[in-house]
Structure 1
Amino acid sequence: MKAKYVLIISYFYILLFVYAAISKLITFEAFQVQLTQSPLLSAYANIIAYLVLGAELLFALLLCIKTTRLLGLYLSYGLMVAFTLYIYLILNYSDFIPCSCGGILEKMGWNEHLWFNLIVSILGFVAVYILQNNTKKFYLRIIIITLISSVVLILLFTSSEYIIKKQNPFVRRYLPHGVIQDETLDLQVNSFYFSGFYKDNIYLGNYTAPLRYIEIDSLMQRQDYSITIDSINLAYSNLRFKTLYPHFYLADGTTPIIFKGVLNDLKKRKTTGILSYKDVYFSDMVPVDSTTIAFKGQSSQDYKSVLGLLNSEGPVQIDLNTNLLESTSDGVFDTDGILVYNKEYEKFIYTYYYKNKFIQTDNKLIVINEQSTIDTTQMKKISATKLSTGENKMITPIKAINSIVVTHRNLLLIVSNSMGQNESRKMWRQASIVDVYDFVNNSYLGSFYINHLGDDKLSDLIITDHYLYGLFDRKLVRFKMAKLLIDKFY
């Protein structure tokens, strides 16, 4: 009777491993990608895919031969212990629970997987106990195998977490159902951009009609407003609208001039005042508070990007930080990037366009920390030349590594143009990829897709406490964020 039990369990293991191995072979590429998305083993996905496949076939072969059956049962038990512990860690210690795996367990949820693997491990344990005549040898070997299986998996888990979150080998970890399309609003024209938000209301400026902006409320209802300025005859070329409730700012860094007004006053058709005129030239500006503006400009000596602060409390004061941005290539494009301000933590974050890096500073533009993005391209190779006008131009235009950057609470969201390992080119043609970082803890949290709207790609992004908003040509789309993403907020 005992011999029959051992034989039945051996045949069961053979069937299980052979079926699982064949299933993996048939869809091997998908199996590799699936392991890449594992919250525990992402960094070792490629090698583990081959090891698991090889182990299943080898153990099945050992179980077929009478003289090696005992060894096969010991090893099969160890493998099932590792599978069981893996699922336990997924359920209790991972950042998220991935989609269920395919093959023989395709229809099971993760809890069912856990119970299935646990029962199969116990069946193997009993079979080994029956076949192993020496009780002392059995207990010693079973303890050693259990410990080895557990320690190896835990080491893989901890080291993979460190590599993915700190060393970044450019293996993306996709958050399941990161955002879900909720509401869509037709804006009629494609010249809008996000200028800020307050609670559940968002504000959009207009590139082609800079003296007009719109407000979208929580019901996705639109309200249009006009801005009246006194200095209407100046040679504006790049007027941009920014909001920091309750104030708004209208700025053109080529003139250069910054207007300031109160959003509620516009409803009463009141005009705005001039906050700064001919104090500093800039290419972008970010309101910090009612009297302070951060800006990005270019050095008049070497055209390198520089950051600075404009304080309008009393006589206007300009504080330039010319040494903040490091140049390792052409000196112009390699320092170019996107400046954002995180109000909750009172920090600036500057993300380079052509480097896999962003810088954190305090509200005085003093560097606190530098962090690499998940992309492993330290610097794009840029060939540039200087024209007779003094303007710098790329000889061969290249695509930026990081294209859109937004921050809210402890999160930094970067729309990346770089493809990671084991990612589908087809998916890249259909969606934009957003990488999510916790800049407070200096870690990469995961990524998610934002699908194109037909032929229209994502052109701008903004995040609030409850929603993510995207602009697609003439359409404004509101996305619901998965609880998993909202839970990342501090």
Structure 2
Amino acid sequence: MKNIQTIFIKTVSCFFILLFVYASVSKLLDFENFQVQIAQSPLLSAYAGGISYAVIIVELIIVLLLTFPSRRLIGLYLSTALMSAFTIYIFLILNYSDFVPCSCGGILEKMGWTEHLIFNILCVVIGGLSVLIMGRANHKTHRKTALILGISNILSCILVIVLFFKSEYIIKQENNFTRRFLMHPILKVKSMDLENHSFYFAGAKNEELYLANRSLPQNLLAVDSLLKKAVNTKIDLELSKYPFKKIEIKVKDHHYYIYDGNVPIILKGKLCNTQNKVISSNDAFFDQLEIIDSNKIAIRTLSSQTRNLTLGTILINHNGKNQVTLHPDLLEKQLDGFFDSDGYLSSDPIRPTVNYIYSYRNQFLVMNHSMQLIHRWRTIDTTKIAQIKVTSLSNGKSKMSKPALKVNGHAIVYRGLLFNPAQLRGRHESLIRWKESKVIDIYNTESQEYIGSMYIDNIKNNTMSDFRITDEHLYAIIGNQLVQYKLTQSLKKHFKNGEAENRVSE
């Protein structure tokens, strides 16, 4: 009987030695990939740097302890506790995670997560039995051995649970610039060829898309949801009457809007009609515009008093006496009030909110349709102060004296989610993957919760230039391709309905 117990203990010890040697060496040989996998874990994302080293070190220490007979009992205690930690980790992944990440390497990478869980449970069982048997063989009381075994396993499980809750909070609320990529949030469906690379999204109505063309600025292309039917409309414009320099078109509901901020003119027409009329003339110069509703337009302009970028609204009145209201306190000056406040204005087509995301700092604003501030949230990047250097010229103007560190792209908002084309690579991200795709970070605009990120792959070395979200699809313009992606439930479940939170920040 004693020989059988000795053989069992030695067999279990050898098993754990082989397991941990194989696992640790596999991780070391592909350490960068292992760190990326840890960074994608919904439990350990915030601690990927430290944990990636700690797991390997602990596994190798256990191997050393199991190798020496005098330290074998401690090694078995630690082996069982570590396998208990891995077991609770997989249980949380399978039951409380928004997605299932990649496995942790070695032979376990060949297993499914359910098989992985069963394997770990068996390891805990044989590890626990070997501890009890060896403890009794070393003349230790059964109660003391069981108590130490129980406490060590419970503590290892508690550690993993604590890491789970703390990591979730850090990633979603106090991120240290570690991205977590959603599991298949979009699936490519189809694509269609466009004539050139000059198209951009003017808007969408239900699942019908409207594309404008910078090379042919009077044209508006309507594309159906199947990407099979495309109808081009040439809008009538009196170009001799209005000295437009850079025409832009936006579509909202059943109307299109034509504007050029260099010329303080806004025209409006019905989608089925090439004729249009002026709805705003000489009310304000602006460089960005967002349609809030049929009577209100949000703008970004340059304050004539402070020379700072300023957000405002134009209220369209039927009598022609439009009202312009500026909100100089919304955009916060850091350095010069112009370059440091640069960013992108967007409005949610479903919910009554307007958003502004800064280009050079990790912040975005959420406002109601009256342009009252609701929230001032941060993105996961750590750039709080705009990294720009501005030089004043003799003519009174300013310019950037060196390239600025751009943080955020032209973000759009849909159903309470902010979709931000990121400009900076996060921690533990693959450089190759970063170069081969565009990363979009997704935030809940009500709770400042970082939802996750997703990749939009390049096509023929062309990166995504513009995109739009609908209830069912993401549409992207990549080079001369219009690409349709189907939204999966892992993303759609975060959508909000049409009712928005109206609480205004102090």
For normalisation by structure 2, the TM-score amounts to 0.93
Task: Tell me the distance in 2 between the aligned counterparts of 1:192 and 1:25.
Answer: 46
**Other-structure match for 1:411:** 417
Q: Which residue of 1 aligns with 2:245?
A: 237
**Aligned-pair CA distance for 1:390:** 4.7
Moved more, 472-481 or 297-306: 472-481
Structure 1 segments unaligned to the other structure (5+ residues):
none
Aligned-pair CA distance for 1:364? 0.8
Counterpart Cα distance in 1 of 2:307 and 2:478: 33
Give 3-state SS (helix, strand or coil) of 1:82's partner: helix
Q: What does the per-residue CA deviation read over 1:74-98, in whole Å, with 9 as the maximum and x for residues that have no partner?
A: 1111001000000011111122111
Q: Distance in 2 between matches of 1:14 and 1:86?
A: 21
Q: C-alpha separation between the residues in 2 aligned to 1:401 and 1:69? A: 52
1:125-158 Cα distance to aligned partner (Å, 9 max, x none): 1111222221211231122112211111111111
Partner of 2:269: 261
**1:192 and 2:199 correspond:** yes
Indicate yes or no: 2:284 matched with 1:280.
Answer: yes
- CA deviation profile, 1:215-250 (whole Å, cap 9, x unmatched): 111110211012124575221112211111112111
Q: Which of 443, 448, 461 pairs up with 2:467?
A: 461
Within the alignment, does 1:156 sit opposite 2:163 as a pair?
A: yes
Q: Is the 8 A contact 2:462 2:478 kept in 1?
A: yes
Measured in 2, the distance between the counterparts of 1:303 and 1:217 equals 43
Deviations 1:50-106 (A, max 9, x none): 111111111122122222221111111100100000001111112211123321112
Spell out, residue by residue over 1:164-192, the C-alpha distance to the aligned partner (whole angstroms, 9 max, x if none).
11111011111233333322211112221
CA distance in 2, matches of 1:92, 1:306: 47
Structure 1: distance between partners of 2:287 and 2:31: 49
Partners of 2:36 and 2:430 within 8 A in 1? no
Q: Take 2:59 and 2:104, find their aligned partners in 1: how far apart are those partners?
A: 16
Matches of residues 199-210 of structure 1 in structure 2 within 5 Å?
199-210=206-217
CA shift, 1:210, in A, is 2.1
Distance 2:221 2:249 in 1: 11
Q: How far, CA to CA, are the matches of 2:280 and 2:239 in structure 1? A: 12
- The residue aligned with 2:259 is 251
* Of 5, 11, 16, the match for 2:19: 16
CA distance in structure 1 between the partners assigned to 2:210 and 2:427 by the alignment: 37
Once the 2 structures are TM-superposed, how far is the Cα of residue 263 of structure 1 from its aligned partner? 1.2
Secondary structure of the structure 2 residue equivalent to 1:444: strand
| Residue in structure 1 matched with residue 485 of structure 2 by the alignment | 479
**1:104 equivalent in alignment to 2:111:** no
**Paired residues of 1:308 and 1:318 also in contact (CA < 8 A):** yes
Does 2:267 correspond to 1:224?
A: no
Question: How far off its partner does 1:363 sit?
Answer: 1.0
Q: Which amino acid aligns with 1:90?
A: I
Amino acid at match of 2:198: S
> Contact conserved, 1:330 with 1:382, CA < 8 A, in 2?
no
Q: How does 1:57-456 map to 2 (within 5 A)?
A: 57-133=60-136, 134-220=141-227, 221-229=229-237, 232-264=240-272, 266=273, 269=274, 271-314=275-318, 315-387=321-393, 390-456=396-462
Give the CA RMSD over aligned residues: 1.6
Identity of aligned residues (%): 40
Where does 1:19-38 land on structure 2 (aligned, <5 Å)? 19-38=22-41
Matched-pair contact (CA < 8 Å) for 1:35–1:42: yes
Cα distance in 1 for partners of 2:127, 2:405 equals 55
SS in 1 for 2:432: helix
- CA separation of 1:202 and 1:390: change in aligned 2, threshold 3 A: farther
| 1:465 partner SS | coil
Corresponding residue pairs, total = 486
How far 1:415 sits from its partner (Å)?
Answer: 0.6
Q: What displacement does 1:302 show?
A: 3.1
2:56 is aligned with what amino acid? L
Amino acid corresponding to residue 184 of structure 1 in structure 2: S
Return the offset for 1:381.
Answer: 2.4
Q: Distance in 2 between matches of 1:457 and 1:356?
A: 23
1:459 is paired with a residue whose SS is strand
Q: CA deviation at 1:341?
A: 0.7
Tell me how far 1:313 sits from its aligned partner.
2.9
TM-score by length of 1: 0.96
In structure 1, what residue type is equivalent to 2:212?
G
The separation in 2 between residues aligned to 1:287 and 1:478, in whole angstroms, is 25
- 2:475 and 2:381 map into 1 onto residues whose CA distance is 24
Distance across 1 between alignment mates of 2:167 and 2:276: 54
Between the aligned partners of 2:403 and 2:434, the Cα distance in structure 1 is 21
- Name the SS of the counterpart of 2:314 in structure 1: strand
| Deviation, structure 1 residue 387 | 4.3
State whether residues 440 and 453 of structure 2, in contact with CA within 8 Å, keep that contact through their aligned partners in structure 1. Answer: yes
One-letter code of the match for 2:32?
E
- Mapped to 2, the partners of 1:325 and 1:239 lie a distance apart of 26
**3-state secondary structure, aligned to 2:451:** strand
What is the letter of the counterpart of residue 214 of structure 1?
Answer: L
Equivalent position SS for 2:459:
coil
Paired AA for residue 280 in structure 1:
A
Q: Which range moved further: 215-224 or 170-179? A: 170-179
Report the secondary structure of 2:155's partner residue: helix
